[in-house]
Chains A and B, each alone.
Chain A
Amino acid sequence: MEVAKHWRETPERYRLEAGKCSKCGKISFPGRLICPECGYREFVIHKLSGKGKLDTFTIIRTAPSGFEDLAPYAVGIVELEDGIKILGQITDCDPETLKTGDKLVAKFRRINEDGKTGMIYYAYKFVPDVGI
């Protein structure tokens, strides 16, 4: 039962909401209570664009439990237009054809589920930005 644990992350996972430091402007995702750049403690919500380019990636062939049916699948670090990097799966593609530098865009997808009868966990994944 990880219901509350997932639900608590809804702003980040469903809407890509980050925290922007009110003093130095550093964007933190997920949000924090203390700015890692300047130590300031006030933030405004910053909605990430979800658009960026692939910084580095791997193709997971031996998957962690709960992800076996997706293998082989790509996970990468994406450098967003907002200037920060986030990690996520890259779906809707043949992972063998991915290249670093590829343009990607965030979509809303299923990440995992708590068995066949449990909660379904939704969040962002990235897809190639091919205009569809």
Chain B
Amino acid sequence: MVGIVGYGTQIPRYRIKVEEIAKVWGADAPSYKKGLNLNEKSVPCPDEDTATLAVNAARNAMIRAGINPKDIGAVYVGSESHPYAVKPTGTIVSEALGACPYVHTADLEFACKAGSEGMFIALHLVKSGIVKYALGIGADTSQGAPGDALEYSASAGAAAYVMGADNLVAELIDTHCFMTDTPDFWRREHANYPEHGGRFTGEPAYMKHVSGAVRAILEKTNIRPEDFNYMIFHQPNGKFPVQMALKLGFKEPQFRHGLLTPTLGNTYSGSSPLGLAATLDVAKPGEQILMVSYGSGAGSDAFIFKATKRLDEVRNLVPLVRKQLDEHKIYLEYGQYAKFRHKILKPE
């Protein structure tokens, strides 16, 4: 039996409202808010990046896990905004946690699915018996081009999971993947902002892969939608995951706790992992959770977890997701936001 031993998150304190962005571009804020089910998004402080969010989230995960950092055998950081093009984020995280030097690490990239990939690898590596504990982290300080629809949603945050075979807070029931080569969203080397296929990102991309993974894992495990207490899908906006969930036979109470996008935005690699963390924050022992990520390019990883008794014992050792999301927010004006995100041209 393998699963989650500890989990932790980090969400920046700064926020910008949809209205504040729309005002600058002459866009219609109400239609964005309604169309995307999005009110505001998190913005990283200039001294935060994927590495810092990953470390701070992982430290929280380690507190809940209560393990010796030297027992971590692997660290995987998934992101589309690794601070370096060449030089791992994973070494920074491993060093900061005190896991070095007997540790395997890799940086992963698969658009918004990179975080769940790390979780997937960590779980199966533990299951294979090669390592005692492994960390899977999804972290991003994602970029949306100024004025582009993505600017309203691209946000920052991280979730980290310590996977192991004992002292579980959630037991892994099963996993399943669904992947094809579907170019709905990309960023070329040296490009500052990603580009996307507009409406092509919907039906043939997000919808097809998420539903493909869901159907496959349900069939494999012989579990029905109504058997889940909770479910989390990747949340590029507040609309896609809701439409998809309802279409697949899930109901609002199942996705209510994990749907963070309306006030968080899309944290890319952190998105569904953060939704899972928010769900673990409320889940009771024995309850079943379905999590399905989505990464453009394109693919989905599906996971089924079952909460254990230990979850109640360690939950309040570190801040809950809703607390990080709802409390002590600092709102930015667009000018400050542009400065924070290095969108203002300065002399070299």
Q: Do chains A and B touch in the complex (CB under 8 A)?
A: yes
A-side residues, CB < 8 A to B, are 10, 14-15, 69-70, 89, 91-92, 94, 107-111, 116, 120, 122, 125, 128, 130-132
| The residue from A70, A107, A122, A131 contacting B92, defined by CB atoms under 8 A apart | A122
Interface flag for B147 (CB, 8 Å)? no
Interface flag for B323 (CB, 8 Å)? yes
| Cα–Cα distance between A128 and B12 once the two chains are bound (Å) | 13
**Chain A, Cβ-Cβ closest to B44:** A110
| The residue from A107, A125, A128, A132 contacting B319, defined by CB atoms under 8 A apart | A132
28 A-B contacts, Cβ less than 8 Å apart? Answer: A14-B92, A14-B96, A15-B95, A15-B98, A70-B46, A92-B12, A92-B13, A92-B45, A94-B330, A107-B56, A108-B52, A108-B55, A108-B96, A109-B45, A109-B47, A109-B52, A110-B46, A110-B47, A110-B52, A111-B47, A116-B348, A120-B83, A122-B51, A122-B52, A122-B96, A128-B328, A131-B323, A132-B319
| Cα–Cα distance between A94 and B323 once the two chains are bound (Å) | 19
| Cα–Cα distance between A15 and B94 once the two chains are bound (Å) | 11
- Would you give the shortest CB distance from B75 to chain A, in whole angstroms? 14
**Chain A, Cβ-Cβ closest to B339:** A69
| The residue from B11, B47, B51, B56 contacting A70, defined by CB atoms under 8 A apart | B47
Residues 290-348 of B at the A interface (beta carbon under 8 Å): 319, 323-324, 327-328, 330, 339, 348
Q: Is there contact, CB below 8 Å, between A108 and B56?
A: yes
| The residue from A10, A14, A125, A131 contacting B47, defined by CB atoms under 8 A apart | A125
| Cα–Cα distance between A122 and B94 once the two chains are bound (Å) | 13
Instruction: Give how many A-B residue pairs fall within 8 Å (CB-CB).
Output: 61
Seed contacts A107-B56, A109-B52, A128-B328; 13 additional CB < 8 Å A-B pairs: A14-B95, A94-B330, A109-B45, A110-B51, A120-B49, A120-B51, A120-B83, A122-B52, A122-B96, A130-B327, A131-B327, A132-B13, A132-B328
| The residue from A14, A15, A69, A131 contacting B46, defined by CB atoms under 8 A apart | A69
| The residue from B48, B323, B324 contacting A109, defined by CB atoms under 8 A apart | B48
**Chain A, Cβ-Cβ closest to B328:** A130
Supposing A69-B339, A132-B323, A132-B328 touch, asked if A110 and B48 sit within 8 A by C-beta, the answer is yes
Return chain A residues, CB-CB under 8 Å to B13. 92, 132
Q: Is there contact, CB below 8 Å, between B47 and A91?
A: yes
**Chain A, Cβ-Cβ closest to B69:** A15
Return chain A residues, CB-CB under 8 Å to B319. 131-132
| Cα–Cα distance between A91 and B330 once the two chains are bound (Å) | 12
Q: Which of A10, A92, A122, A132 is most buried by chain B, counting CB atoms within 10 A of its CB? A: A132
Return chain A residues, CB-CB under 8 Å to B56. 107-108
Residues 167-219 of B at the A interface (beta carbon under 8 Å): none
| Cα–Cα distance between A1 and B13 once the two chains are bound (Å) | 33
Return chain A residues, CB-CB under 8 Å to B45. 91-92, 109
Residues 262-277 of B at the A interface (beta carbon under 8 Å): none
Return chain A residues, CB-CB under 8 Å to B11. 132
Q: Mark B75-111, 1 if CB is under 8 A from A, else 0.
A: 0000000011000000010011010000000000000
**Chain A, Cβ-Cβ closest to B330:** A94
| Cα–Cα distance between A116 and B49 once the two chains are bound (Å) | 14
Q: Which of B12, B52, B84 is most buried by chain A, counting CB atoms within 10 A of its CB? A: B52
Return chain B residues, CB-CB under 8 Å to A10. 95
- Would you give the shortest CB distance from A95 to chain B, in whole angstroms? 12
Return chain A residues, CB-CB under 8 Å to B83. 120
Q: Is there contact, CB below 8 Å, between A132 and B324?
A: yes
Return chain A residues, CB-CB under 8 Å to B92. 14, 122
Q: Mark B55-81, 1 if CB is under 8 A from A, else 0.
A: 110010000000000000000000000
| The residue from B49, B339, B348 contacting A110, defined by CB atoms under 8 A apart | B49
Return chain A residues, CB-CB under 8 Å to B47. 70, 89, 91, 109-111, 125
Residues 18-69 of B at the A interface (beta carbon under 8 Å): 45-49, 51-52, 55-56, 59
Return chain B residues, CB-CB under 8 Å to A107. 52, 56
- Would you give the shortest CB distance from B317 to chain A, in whole angstroms? 12
Return chain A residues, CB-CB under 8 Å to B323. 131-132
- Would you give the shortest CB distance from B46 to chain A, in whole angstroms? 6
| Cα–Cα distance between A93 and B319 once the two chains are bound (Å) | 18
**Chain B, Cβ-Cβ closest to A113:** B83
Q: Mark B1-26, 1 if CB is under 8 A from A, else 0.
A: 00000000001110000000000000
Considering the complex of A and B, which 5 residue pairs feature the smallest CB-CB distances, nearest first? A108-B55, A109-B47, A14-B96, A110-B47, A132-B324
